[in-house]
A and B are shown apart, each in its own frame.
Chain A
C-alpha cells in the first residue's frame, strides 16, 4: 500500500474546506442555469435547485465516509477496492474528468467574454493568458490554491447583492402556484441542475491535504449549504424577474439581470460583473488542474510540476477545438451528464463496495 502523506508544511486548516467546496461549485453554471432547469419544471424549478442541493449534502457525507475509511484519497480507494491496475484505469478516467471540468469552465467563460464584451477576441489568445495565470497558482502548490479559493469566495460573494436592483422589476407572483409539475419534471430539472453543483467531488483528491481531515466534514457541509443558498436565491430572483417565455430566450439569465443594475457612475454594469467573474472562474480551473496533476503523481509518479504542462497544452488545444455556441453547449451538456453519473452512481457504488469489503474483512473502521 503506497500512501503518500503530504508534508506537514503543505497542509491547510480544516475550515478551508468551506472555501474549497464553494469556490469549486460556483462557476460558469450560475450565469445561465435558469433556462435549463426551467425547461422541464417551469416556475417550480427553484425547488429542483433545493432538491439537488440536499442530494449533494448526502454525497458529501458519502465522500467523507469513503475517505475516512480508506485514510487516503481517491487513488488509494481505487487501489484498495479494485487492485492496482484496474484502480489505475479508474483514476485515469477521473483525471480526464478533471481536465474536462477545467476546460468547460475555461471555454464557457471565454465565450461569455466574447459574446458580451469583446466579440473580436481570439479564444486561444485569452485562453493562453488564463491558463498561464492558472499555472502560476497550481505551481505554487496546494496552499496557494487554497488561498486563491479563499480570496475568490470573498471577492465573488458580494455580487449576490446586485439582485437588489432586480427586485423592483420583479413579479413575485410568478413563483406561484407551487407544485404545478409532475415528479418526472422535477427529476429532469434536478438532473439539469447537477452541472452547477459539480466540483465538490474534487474533495476526493485534496482530502489528505487537510489537517485532521475528518474534522473538516462540517466545513464541507457548510460549504455545500452556502452554494445551495446562493443558487436558490439566484433561481428565485430570476423566476420572479423573467417571464417563462422570456427566460427561454435568455442564454445568460444572471448576466442579463445585471443589465438592470444602475449606478450613477456606470451605465453598463455587466462589464464589471463579467470581469469580476474571473475570480469565480479561476478557482474552478486551478483546482481542477491541480487535481489532475495530483492524480498523475499518485498513479504514475510523475512530478506535478512536469505533468502540468501537457494538461495546459490539452486545455489550450481545447480552446481551438470548441469554437462556437453549439460546440460549447455540447461540451457543457456532456460534462454535465458525465458528472451526473459520476456523483449519483459512481460515488454511491464505491461507497457500497467499500462497505462490503470492510464487512468481509471484518475490520470495521480499520485502515485496510
Chain B
C-alpha cells in the first residue's frame, strides 16, 4: 500500500507541469490574416475570425475582423489580443493576404515569422490584394459564405482550373530555393464579389510584376501538367473559340546549359472545343486549321510572358531550377547572368479530340 501512496503523491505533484489547455470554444480561430502597409516600419494586420452568433436555435457564422498596427508580427498578436475576448489560435488560418503596397516593399519579416510558427500549416494560400486587405475582409459580399471561407474556396477551385498550383509550401520552395521565384494569386474587390485578377510575381520577397487572369492559364500550361481549365483564342475574322483543356503536358528541352543556354518548351494539349460560334468543325482540315491557329497564338502568348519575366529578371516558372537538374557542375551564379538574355522558344502541339455533342 505504501508503494502506491508514493506514486499517487508523485502524480499529484506532477499536475503542475501539464501544458495550457486549448479548448475549441475558448479560442478565437483565425480564418484569414491580412497585412497592410501602415507607415515606413509599421504593419497593420487584420484577422478575420468566424464567430458563431444567434444561439443554438439559429446559429449563423459571422465574420469578425480585428485589426492592429505594430512593428513585428508577434507584437501585432499582442495588439490584436487586446481587442479580443478569447486568445487567438492560428492553427486554422486558410488564407494569408498581403496588400500590394506592402508586398512591393518586401514581406521577408512576415514570412519569417509565419514560417517559424509551428501551428501555421503549409497547405494554405498566400495572395496579394489590390488595395487594403482590411477593406476586403470587412466588406459584405453577396456570396453566402463568410469571407475567410469564401476566399479559401475561391482560390482553391481556381487552382484546379486556371491558376497554377500554389500554396505556402510552394512559396517557401521558391523563396528559399535557387532558380525560381515565388508567385501568388492577385485578388481585388469587384463590386459585390472578390475576383482573382491575375498572378502577382515576386522577386524573392518583393512583389515586382503581375500577369493578367487570361495569361495565368498560359502560365499554367508552361508551369505544370494538368487536366482542367479553358482558354479563349482569337480566330480569323474576329471570331473566338474556347478550348477546354482535357490534358496538358509540358517538357523543357535545354541546350548547352553551361555555355550559351537555349530553351524550347514543348506543350502538348489535348482538348475539346466548347464554344466555336460559326466555325465549322466537322471536316478534318478545318480542325487542323483551328489547331494551327491556336498553336500559333499560344506560342506567341507564352513567349511574350517568358520575355516579360526575363526583362524583370524573375523566374516564376523555375526555369533555372529545372536547368539545374539537367546538367552536372551547374552554378546559379553563372546562370543568373545568362538567364535574362537566353533565347526561349515555345512549341506547342494542340490536339482537338472532341467538339461537343452536336456537329
Contacts and interface: CB of A to CB of B under 8 A. Distances in A.
A267 B177 contact: no
Contact of A242 (B173, B318, B326): B173
B90 to A, nearest CB: 10
B328 A246 contact: no
B14 A128 contact: yes
Contacts of B17: 121-122, 125-126
Nearest to B22: A118
A246 B169 CA distance: 10
Given A120-B20, A129-B14, A262-B123, A243 B169 contact: no
A173 interface: yes
B169 A267 contact: no
A246 B177 contact: yes
Contacts, number: 79
The dominant DSSP class at the B interface is loop
A243 B118 contact: no
B214 interface: no
B87 interface: no
B173 A243 contact: yes
Interface in A90-136: 115-118, 120-122, 125-126, 128-129
A173 B19 CA distance: 43
A116 B123 contact: no
A364 interface: no
A179 interface: yes
B325 A267 contact: no
Interface in A126-164: 126, 128-129
B175 to A, nearest CB: 8
A259 B123 contact: yes
A244 B178 contact: yes
A271 B52 CA distance: 26
Nearest to A244: B177
Contact of B91 (A125, A262, A268): A268
A333 interface: no
Given A121-B19, A244-B177, A244-B178, A249 B121 contact: no
A248 interface: yes
Contact of B325 (A122, A125, A173, A245): A173
Contacts of A267: 91-92, 121
8 contacts: A121-B19, A242-B173, A243-B178, A243-B321, A248-B176, A249-B115, A267-B121, A270-B118
Given A173-B325, A259-B169, A268-B91, 13 more contacts: A121-B17, A121-B19, A129-B14, A169-B169, A169-B170, A171-B173, A175-B325, A179-B328, A180-B329, A243-B321, A245-B178, A246-B176, A267-B121
